[in-house]
Amino acid sequence: MNISKFPSLRLENELKSIKADRSSFLPELKPNILFVIPDSISGMTNIFKWTALIQGRSKETSSPYAEGLYPININFDDSFPRTPPKISFEPGFKHIHIYDDGQICLPLVNERNWSAKYDMINVLNQVEELIHAEPRISSPANSKLSEIYRNDKEKYKNIIEEQARETWHKFKHLIGKI
């Protein structure tokens, strides 16, 4: 096999696995990861650039991210799967473990921790978990938000819940389109 084709073949298989998982009886992909699609420009699919949409967990959970819709960008380079994908939210997304430019702080996709054996279902599930997990304020990517969380949890909750409402209204038209 031509080594230069390996990344695109692996990515095509990853997408097939995600789509097959949706129809299986033992789904691995969390149900609130609504879709994962490769980008397309002028009818040409770019297998190296994906978009996923994560819906916040139900409002019965204690997460202030509940009820929001969160698109993520996933970019692969031609050295994938030897190197991790670059995962980002929209710039300005408010989360203690997401930098102001939208880049995610997730150990799994760090160069030091990455392994070619990781699949994208696992990565997407980890991103979904990170959104809703209790923040680790000892290692924040967003120090300002971490400070608010540390000093005034109610203010923090209000900021995140407002963001959830805004993202719902901004991206709700995408539900059911794919």
Confidence of residue 1 (pLDDT cuts 50, 70, 90): very low
Within 13 A of 132's CA, how many CA atoms are on the CB side?
A: 23
> 178 burial class (0-12, 13-18, 19+ CB within 10 angstroms)?
exposed
The residue to which tokens 């819709």 are assigned: 69
Domain encompassing residue 153: 3-174
Mean residue pLDDT across the chain: 87
Cα separation, 154 vs 172, in Å, equals: 26
Q: Which of 98, 66, 73 is nearest to 167 (CA)?
A: 66
The residue to which tokens 């990517």 are assigned: 141
Residue type, 142: N
146-175 pLDDT tens trace = 999 999 999 999 999 999 999 999 998 887
What's the predicted TM-score (pTM) here? Answer: 0.85
| CB within 8 Å of 160: residues ≥ 6 apart | 64, 65, 94, 95
- CA 142 remoteness from chain centre: 17
53 beta partners = 35, 71
pLDDT of residue 2: 43
101-159 pLDDT tens trace = 999 999 999 999 999 999 898 999 999 999 999 898 888 999 999 999 999 999 999 99
Please give the tally of structural domains in the chain. 1
pLDDT of residue 39: 78
Confidence of residue 31 (pLDDT cuts 50, 70, 90): confident
pLDDT of residue 64: 94
CATH of the domain at 131: 3.10.110.10
